[in-house]
Amino acid sequence: MAVKKGKGASRKIRDKWKSKEWYTLHAPRMFNEVEIGETPSADPAYLMGRTAEVTVHDLTGDFSKMHIKLRFQVSDVEGKDARTVFVGHDLTSDYVRRLTRRKRTKTDHVIDVTTKDGFVMRVKPMSVADRRIQSSQESAIRVIMDESIKAMAADMTVSEMVKNIISGDMARDLARACRSIVPIKRVEISKTEILQAGEGIPESIEPPAEETPEEPTEPEAPEEAAPEEVPAEN
């Protein structure tokens, strides 16, 4: 006896993947808009707000920066190109575990700063002392970090802040400032987050690889000076 099929079984299953198209993700202008990957979507509007995470090694090829993860968010779609903005960074968990060992004190801090171009950024520095320290010393370290990072942000754009964090210059400056309290083994900026975007557009961290030279312009001919009038003799 034949089994009667239900109405649902007779319907064809629609493959949602066939209706999706692939879009190329580009890093923000501060990273020269390099390609960072691809993502599928059935509608470009669905890409808005989607986040992507890449390491600094993926962008620059520097193996020493594999522990730094950058987060980007799609802000604009043109054709098959999706442009992103920088929204923050953090460190890999295994890298942080290697820094924090027994008989060491790790001090965490959270600071909200405003950059020179109006971006509000949350910065989370961490310091690792080579021995156990007192709570009063930890409080003093937090005060120094708070004052130092706010002063740096006031004189830097958001692109300059990101550059100093990735290169490690900010961490080295903080370590030198904190040594007046206690010897510091290591300082790292463990995490950042953009809380509010500024009015300006972040500039590139590095100049573009190829720049179109400007066409030379012909120098303008100097204007002829008018002859001076000779006073008439009486």
Averages of pLDDT over runs of 10 residues in the chain (234 residues) are: 53 67 93 92 92 93 93 95 96 91 87 95 94 90 95 95 95 92 90 86 46 40 44 45
83: Cβ contacts below 8 Å, ≥ 6 apart: 26, 28, 33, 74, 75, 76, 77
43 and 123 both lie in a single domain: no
72: helix, coil or strand?
Answer: strand
109 and 35 both lie in a single domain: no
Q: Would residue 182 count as lying in a domain?
A: yes
Q: How many residues does the chain have?
A: 234
- Name residue 1's beta-bridge partners: none
Question: How high is the pLDDT of residue 8?
Answer: 53
Residue 179, CB-side half-sphere exposure with 13 Å CA sphere: 8
Question: How high is the pLDDT of residue 67?
Answer: 95
195 and 96 both lie in a single domain: yes
The sign of the dihedral angle between the CA atoms of 176, 178, 180, 185 is: negative
Q: Would residue 164 count as lying in a domain?
A: yes
142 and 59 both lie in a single domain: no
- Name residue 55's beta-bridge partners: 69
128 and 169 both lie in a single domain: yes
Give the separation between CA 194 and CA 123, rounded to whole angstroms. Answer: 9
96 and 188 both lie in a single domain: yes
User: Residue 145 belongs to a domain with what CATH number?
Assistant: 3.30.479.30
104: helix, coil or strand?
Answer: coil
Residue 157 neighbours by CB distance under 10 Å: 19
The sign of the dihedral angle between the CA atoms of 95, 97, 98, 99 is: positive
